Structure 1
Amino acid sequence: MVKFNSTSRLSNIDTKVILTQTDTTVGFLSQDALKLCDIKSRQPSKPFIKVYKNFKALKQDKKRVPNAQKNLVRRLKKTTFIVKNFSFRVANDSSHSSFLREIQWKYSTSANESGKNFSRIFCEEKADIIVEDKNKLFEGKASKLYKINNKKIKRLR
């Protein structure tokens, strides 16, 4: 476990698991989905939310948002979208997007075992890097979840 007081030294963290306060709640971030599955005791077939640093990164990843819903996706904050069984969120929050400065995206999941509440002890054992600011780590409200296509918007959470 490595503790940093600032995010400026986090450039080579491709497959490390980071415990941090995300734009919604305390969470694990990593580009290694299998590592996250192992930590959360979760089935590998269950997909993770992909968090992008901005809309340009989403476009570079060749992910398309239906034209009719582009404005909605740009406007709504702290919201996860599902398009054709692909879930994503754009982290406009400056502190959260700073982890994605070098890397365009990361998988994101809540910092707990599947189906359980946040436990700081569990998280500190499992994380490679812990990033904590003055607000500390806290379990906040989960992001809103919408399934969208060209014609419909359905709120799932």
Structure 2
Amino acid sequence: MPIILAQTDTTVGFLSQNREKLYEIKSRPSTKPFIKVYKNFKSFLQDGNRVINSRKNLVRRSKKTTFIINNFSFRVAPFTLNSQILRDSSWFYSTSANRSSERFSREFCESKADIIIEDINGLVEKDSSALIKLNRKKKRKLR
């Protein structure tokens, strides 16, 4: 699976279904997991994931929010770019398009990406998603 450089709902990101290639590009420890981005809530459920009933609407309707349930981080975010490769896949591992702990560098990103998907607005570094940890009893905002 190729490494895709694209504008996500939050910031510029690398998307791929190959986790190992993303670890290599980011020079990131393999103990630090990636966010799994689903194109819709139905894809999230079809992947074998579950959310308790009292939290389903929160996850389904959230915008620019990443959730952590039992050390599994995910986001439900429709791909807004009109690209066949994004429409054909129901999920991707996602990470910000930069070296670990550094700012966005277009040269670095273009050298590492196999496919670049860009619209008229270009690639713009924006704020990262909100991060909420969910469990049965409570939710806690981490970022």
* Aligned equivalent of 1:94: 80
Q: 1:95 Cα deviation (Å)? A: 2.2
Aligned 1:37-52 pairs, distance under 5 A = 37-52=23-38
1:134 to 116, 120, 127: 120
Q: Give the corresponding residue for 2:54.
A: 68
Distance in 2, matches of 1:148 and 1:38, equals 30
Secondary structure at 1:117's aligned position in 2?
coil
Measured on the aligned residues, the alpha-carbon RMSD in Å equals 1.5
Unaligned runs of 5+ in 1: 1-14
Structure 2: 5+ residue stretches without partners: none
Say if 1:69 and 1:50 are closer, same or farther in 2 by CA, change over 3 A: same
Scaled by the length of structure 2, the TM-score of the pair is 0.95
Q: Indicate the SS of the match to 1:133.
A: coil
| TM-score, length-scaled by structure 1 | 0.87
Contact 2:83 2:117 in 1 (8 A): no
Please say if 1:123 is aligned against 2:109. yes
Q: Write out the 4+ residue segments of structure 1 that deviate beyond 3 Å after TM superposition.
A: 96-100
| Cα separation, partners in 2 of 1:98 and 1:54, compared to 1, 3 Å | farther
Q: Residues 81 and 98 (structure 1 numbering): CA distance in 2 closer, same or farther, change over 3 Å?
A: farther
Q: How far apart are 1:92 and its partner, in Å? A: 2.7
Amino acid at match of 2:62: L
Letter in 1 for 2:6: T
